Structure 1
Amino acid sequence: MYDLETRKRALTLLRQGRSLNSASRQTGISRAAIRGWQARIEPLRPSDCCRCRDRPELPHPPDAYAYLLGLYLGDGCVSPHPRTGYFLRIACANAWPGLIDACANAVHAVHPTGSVHRLPREGCVSVVSYGRHWPCLFPQHAPGKKHERHIQLATWQRESVNAHPWEFLRGLVHSDGCRTTNWTERTVAGQRKRYEYPRYFFTNKSEDIRRLYTDTLDHLGIEWKQANTWNISVARKASVAMMDRHIGPKD
């Protein structure tokens, strides 16, 4: 006979993406026993998810969730998994190792009972975490590409964004935005002079996600303009200075 804590430890290995064979070898418990616990115990643990409780709560910590929500809307997806139910995957470019660390830290903060994996891909690293309740935390999960379907935040997600708007913006910029330096030339006293100035761009095919970005900019008093069909620009000096204080360039 095994106590409940032993059973939970074995099931935690499965939620982390381990196979039944791997969990059995590590714990010394038979595959059949672990499979039976998975069928009996896992469906009876909705309280593990802050959204499945009798009185749903905002994900904790809320600032990490707001940042992770921005990353998810830009470069993330939730997919089914045969053993763990679902897994969250967020693609981060290799050029920004600091961003990869920030993403992994946010995933771990929001889902501390699961492990976080960094899977190398061509030109990027996929930050991955397995769990049954990722669709609860990201109800935008659905078949198809985000820009081909309607994206709307749930009321509790809007509360999280309103409480931590800069973290939400930071996640969006880190996924589908950048800070660049533009330049122009002007004639001053008969001489051509080159002027450089920083600006932020955010590019996303989804009109709904672009609107979430610009609505948050409006809420914070950031001036912006539509640079082209998919591109939002922030170039006013005061607005760029505010973005620099709270977001800054990727690292």
Structure 2
Amino acid sequence: MHDRTLRNRTLRLLEAGLSVGEASRQTGVSLSTIRRWREVPESRSPTARGCARCAPIPLSPHLFPQHGPGKKHERPIVLEPWQREIVSAHPGRFVRGLIHSDGWRGTNRVRRVLPSGVLLDLHVGPKY
């Protein structure tokens, strides 16, 4: 979904005489979306009606401190004090959540010989 500002800007470009293709190149909006915007009045669009799916959801940095600038894989993983308290109370659930959130639902087999010479053979079954 595109916000109303982008829609209005794109429609102004069309009104100024740009082709749908040129407006698409300048705004990054697909040709079919621009054509639909041109044909469907804003009053009939889901955003204008207050569609819950289209409504912006403000994210508080206090609730989601992991969101921030830069690439996620380059940012340090640092838990806030309130998060550390929850993780300390439920470490197993925390680890389970991390495993489930990665999207992998296969099986994993870990085989390692520890420095002590003991063979570590773990079979982690499918995650559900």
Under TM normalisation by the shorter chain, which class is it?
A: 0.3 to 0.5
Greater strand content: 1
- After TM superposition, the score normalised by the length of structure 1 is 0.24
Higher relative contact order (CA 8 A, sep 6+): 1
**Larger Rg over CA atoms:** 2
